[in-house]
Amino acid sequence: MEQSTLAVLLSLGHGTTYVASLYLFMAMFPTPLATIHDRDHPHIMKQRMRGVTLATLVSLVTTSVVLWYWQSSNEQFNVTQIANQLGLDPRMALPSVVVALVLMCVLFLGPLIISHLEGMCGWDMLKRVPGNLWNQPIYLRNYVVGPVTEELVFRSAVIALWSASGLSLKMCVLVSPVIFGVAHVHRAVSLYVKGDALGRILMSAVVQLLYTTVFGWIAAGLFVRTKSITGPTVAHIFCNLQGLPDPTKAAQYPGYKYFIWLSFVVGLVGFLVLFEPMTRPGVFVPE
């Protein structure tokens, strides 16, 4: 079997294992107070986090073994190089985070202005995060475990395999995020079980698929260009904090309506213009 084919199959396996782990742990440790489809129930969230953590470790170990096998003929190949391929080079961590934060702030210029008008921007937001995250697992899931495990699986493991197998960087950036997007469509099953209308379920699935795939392109681009998983992870947390951009909210602020709409356009254009120079090796990211 060709390495590229094996890389794609392993990536599909990583995605399947990740999604399956969400339900496996809930089935193994059920609670009479909730079903496996109550994704926001504290017990269910905790079991899901345990499941995806284990799935992530399995994906990283499997990927590392495959990378070692493929490149074992190179006498100079070592564990450090595997870590670098997975985006775990500590030298790249801080530059990747800085670049990701700047680019995401530019891209989300419109939503950030709306958040400011709503009084949701600023350090006061941090006061809302509880001291004991385990007792409020929704924060831990949305802003720690979810982003970290998803980026390690769908960026570190998947792109490392695709790149090492000889697939082009274009394929890594544009095609691999589709796996990430499809992996989120399983939420439609929970909506169906809860009795939601079919049209609403389909609309939700399409929006989820498109939004996660587009974000996947951004995260994959950051990973490939900055050679670190830290930037994509921070970008993921940022997006989870902001949610899906909604320009229709501008109508709630008549005095700022056109300014807000313009800020959405400026943010998108600014992101597209700045992405290449900011991620160019030797500018902010070490060569």
> Comparing 93-97, 118-122, 270-274, which segment has the lowest mean pLDDT?
118-122
Question: Over the stretch 234-258, which tens digit does the pLDDT of each residue have?
Answer: 999 999 988 889 999 999 999 999 9
* Predicted local confidence at residue 41, as pLDDT: 86
**pLDDT bucket at 37, cuts 50 / 70 / 90:** confident
Q: For every residue of 190-249, which 3-state class applies, written as one string?
A: HHHHCCCCHHHHHHHHHHHHHHHHHHHHHHHHHHHHHCCCHHHHHHHHHHHHHCCCCHHH
Mean pLDDT of 131-137: 67
Question: Over the stretch 15-35, which tens digit does the pLDDT of each residue have?
Answer: 999 999 998 887 787 778 777
pLDDT, averaged across the chain = 89
Question: How is residue 20 written in tokens?
Answer: 């399956």
Closest CA to 46 of 173, 163, 132: 132
List of residues 6+ apart from 32 with CB closer than 8 A = none
* Predicted local confidence at residue 126, as pLDDT: 55
* Predicted local confidence at residue 83, as pLDDT: 95
**pLDDT bucket at 109, cuts 50 / 70 / 90:** very high
Quickly count: other Cβ atoms within 10 Å of residue 2's Cβ.
Answer: 9
pTM: 0.91
Residue percentage of the chain with pLDDT more than 70? 94
Quickly count: other Cβ atoms within 10 Å of residue 216's Cβ.
Answer: 27
Comparing 5 with 38, the larger pLDDT belongs to 5
Residue percentage of the chain with pLDDT more than 90? 64
Q: What is the DSSP letter of 68?
A: H
Question: Over the stretch 188-224, which tens digit does the pLDDT of each residue have?
Answer: 777 777 777 888 888 888 889 999 999 999 999 999 9
* Predicted local confidence at residue 190, as pLDDT: 75
Mean pLDDT of 36-44: 82
> How far, in Å, CA of 213 to CA of 181, rounded?
5
